[in-house]
Chain A
Amino acid sequence: MSSEMVILLTGALVAIACALPGAFLILRRMAMMVDAISHAILPGLVAGYFLARGPDLLAGFAGAVLAAVLTVSLVEALQNTGRVGGESAIGIVFPAMFALGTFVVSKYFANVHLDADAILYGNIEFAAFDLLYINGVSFGPQSLWVMGSLCLINLLFIGLLYKELKLATFDPGLAAALGFSPALLHYALMTVVSITTVGAFTAVGAILVVALFVVPAATAWLLTDRLPRMILLAVLIGALSAVSGYAVAIALDASVAGSMAAMTGVFFGLAFLFAPQRGLAARARRLQRQRVEFAVQTLLVHLLNHEQSTEQKAESAISHLNSELRWSNRFARHITGVAQRAGLLKQTGDQLALTSQGRAKGEQRSEPYA
């Protein structure tokens, strides 16, 4: 397998493994907890390195997962003291853990494998050269084995506990009443996130892993209201970000992990602007439509109020809307145009008159105020 292929596959596997639990993390508002975990595993990795006297996959994993669980517990313990808000608790715990990790690395391991940049944005570029050896026999790139297993674990976790996770996410009270422990599920999810983070850490580093967990899932959230579709979309967007990010990185000769994270941002930006229901453009269109609808209603009710009264002629002049409803002339022309095309009024010269259809609609709307 060529080196490019290994990088590409590793990237895609990392993105998929992270995107799988991502939907639940978004819905449970745990994005920043993931940020905290991804930083806080550093001292755990260092401790593993120290205890195993060198880079060791299992020792690193064990140390990092312990550090992650410690982080989650510490944040929750701090919150429970009532002295510190949730977000402040996160802001105290993870920098402390990360500072401890970088302190130890730079003081005692100044010359070894764990260099500072790799901590922040990984070294997926070397994925092809880090081979898995068992009893001296090479089984190919380690990153593929690790990330492949993590994808499988996460798929099994979500597949087997889908119903429970869904219930605990949307209605923790009901979940508890039905006998599924939300706390247990919470810690199970955190453990899955932790081991995924540890696996992804060497490939993409502490911060970009957050992008892969959170951003594809948030993009999917913008596109759909259904959980299964959201998970599937998140996985697809994650994989797409990995592949396109790799292409960008090659073109610019820049960091692969950074480009992957940046691409998740690009896809999110597109959905942010153009998602059919939740996007900014759709929202602006909806607001505009509501504004026009409301203005038409207002106009109908106004005309209805003054029909057959002595001041009818003055009140139903189009030029009067300026002072009556504080509409600009342009807006008044636009609204009367819309109303005429809908067959709700007729305009003769400056005078507006309700059609029977317009009268019916106006009466229907003025009722609640009568």
Chain B
Amino acid sequence: MLIELFTDYTLRNVALGSALLGIVSGALGCFAVLRRQGLLGDALAHAALPGICIAFLLTGSKAPLVLLVGAALAGWLAALLLITAVREIGISEDSALGIVLSTFFGFGIVLLTFINRRGDASQAGLDKFLFGQAATLVTEDVQTMALLGGAALLLVAALYKELKLLAFDAEFAASLGFPARGLSVLLTSLIVIAVVIGLQTVGVVLMAAMLVGPAVAARQWTNRLGVMVILAAAFGAASGVSGALISVSDKNIPTGPVIILSLTAIVLASLFFAPARGLAWDAIRRRQQRANMGIESLGH
């Protein structure tokens, strides 16, 4: 199996693509989760669907870059609407997310079914963005993902200090003269990129977990942001690769769900058994305390 990873064309692409997705969404997810915007990725992923369809309708091309640019533009528009709705109109963030997510997706479904029922066989295949289909990744896709993801990660590295400040204390950042609003827009744009990379692999619906899961798991193991980002990228990559390997072995297993299930296993293990913050140790500690209390009260 491991040797095939380097020789088998499909397997290599799938594993590479999923690993890339895991690294990028893991690293960026940390900032989203720390800013309590864990579900932003969910909304943006759903919102990307009409962008993909419109890009296809306009160009007639299914080249990954064309579709992904469409997805990114739609995601961006959605983010803009979200921010306007929350900031200018005063809708709660939660409602705004639900509204953007469901209406953009509804519009996307209209376009998708419209395209499918036009009946041209060459037009099928946009459906793969719903659940993701890592098995269809070709070298061109992986290259596109590497390009976009690499650019996003470079930006994070270059602006690490600023993003860190934004994640922990946006008001302090603004008071120091950092362009907090601009940075926040940048971070949202980077999340759009992560989402766009994930669409083809895990699909629209499960993208939320790819941003939230690795970050939550990584947070359990460390109190340092730098370590957290690297750990999250590693967790993301691990779940991506293991999910891809499991699903390639069986045609009936879609990649996206398996990646998410591997990720969930990592999250649960981290929640319960991470050294300092593990819930299991909490429970044991509480039990010991209760026992000690019992002994002490016996002594009196």
Query: Which residues of A are at the interface with B, using a C-beta cutoff of 8 A?
Result: 26, 29-32, 34-35, 39, 78, 81, 83-85, 87-88, 90-92, 94-96, 98-100, 102-103, 106-107, 110, 116-117, 120-121, 206-208, 210-211, 213-215, 218, 221-222, 248-249, 252-255, 257-262, 264-265, 268, 272, 278-280, 283
Contacts and interface: CB of A to CB of B under 8 A. Distances in A.
Contacts of B253: 103, 106-107
A78 B217 CA distance: 13
10 contacts: A87-B36, A91-B213, A99-B256, A103-B261, A207-B105, A214-B98, A215-B98, A257-B106, A261-B103, A262-B110
Contacts of A96: 209, 260-261, 264
Nearest to A38: B102
Given A87-B94, A91-B38, 16 more contacts: A35-B98, A84-B271, A96-B209, A107-B253, A110-B252, A120-B205, A211-B106, A214-B99, A218-B95, A253-B117, A255-B113, A257-B109, A258-B106, A264-B102, A265-B99, A280-B84
Nearest to B279: A81
B279 A102 contact: no
B107 A258 contact: yes
A95 B209 contact: yes
Contacts, number: 213
Contacts of A31: 92, 94-95, 97-99
B33 A252 contact: no
B106 A95 contact: no
Nearest to B118: A253
B109 A208 contact: yes
A85 B213 CA distance: 12
B257 A207 contact: no
Contacts of B107: 258, 261-262, 265
Contacts of A210: 98, 101-102
Interface string B29-52: 000010011110110001000000
B277 to A, nearest CB: 6
Contacts of A102: 131, 254, 256-257
A92 B264 contact: yes
B188 interface: no
Given A120-B109, A248-B110, A95 B206 contact: yes
Interface string B191-208: 000000000000001101
Nearest to A249: B110
Interface string B216-251: 100110000000000000000000000000000010
A68 B41 CA distance: 22
B76 interface: no
Contacts of A268: 99, 103
